[in-house]
Amino acid sequence: MTIPGFALEHIPLPSGVTLRVATGGEGPAVVLLHGHPRTHATWHRVAPALADAGLRVVCPDLRGYGQSSAPEPSDDLHTHSDRTMAGDIALLMTHLGHDHFSVVGHDRGSYVAYRTALDFPERVDRMAVLDCVPILEALERADARFAEKWWHWFFFASPHAERVICADPLAWYQPDAQKMGQENYQDMVAAISDPQTVRSMIADYRASLHVDRDADARDRARGHQIQCPTLVAWSKHDDMEDLYGNPAEVWESWCAHRPESAVIDSGHHMAEDNPEQLTAVLTEFFLPS
């Protein structure tokens, strides 16, 4: 069991994919969405604490990640777009009996989180995005610093990415078992060792540079905003402040309500580096006193 005390199951959805999902706790529902190349197990210390605080916590492997379905990428890239993955999350929560829910996303999961909030405003009560600005904003601000720090976005879009990664996935990703926790480490290693999963994860990035960017542009052009209360949090020891100053200010025009903000004293993988502070921040946001 990758998250202590949580039930683990594989749930087939009407969208044609099956998601591996860990669930635990009782109370208002919140979905935790992991980033690249992690699985739901990245939340192994945060999710039980949120459940203990009084939340129903749902942790899926995103489409194409972990042990969820890794469909063949489509030529138009829509199979692995954020909109398609957001649709998976809406279907999953319907299956689990939740008409309303909140959502947390880290890294790639943040893009799915805000797309869920934009496309299903009547269902998403609150949203937290971690180490993320909207894809369109990131690409429009891309300069030499961005290219140096986030070069992997463009490498993953190349036709050579899968061959390079699959040649030695452990050397490429360099997971740290001691830092991650043994079960989380083993779960990620199993995922990155599967060439089809690697291909799906890379397809996620390829979609972001085209399909997802275009979706953001259309939303911005028509003034479509995130309607729910939003929390923007970022890692103190990552590069978000170097690139964007205060990332929450980047989000302001995307949100109907001014977003709250928090800085987590961690590196990029905040759920593993500082789960205590992250849990406290999320608990205060989702269960305000």
Catalytic residues: 107, 268
Q: How far is residue 28's CA from residue 133's CA, in Å, rounded to a whole number?
A: 26
Q: How far is residue 94's CA from residue 91's CA, in Å, rounded to a whole number?
A: 5
CA distances from 214 to 23, 74, 254 (A): 33, 17, 15
Is residue 289 classed exposed, middle or buried when 0-12, 13-18 and 19+ CB atoms within 10 A define those classes? Answer: exposed
Cis peptide leading into residue 37 (ω within 30°)? yes
**Six-digit token pair at 158?**
């190349």
Are 249 and 259 contacting, i.e. CB atoms less than 8 angstroms apart? no
**Six-digit token pair at 210?**
């085209």
Are 45 and 181 contacting, i.e. CB atoms less than 8 angstroms apart? yes
Strands (E), 199-255: 230-235
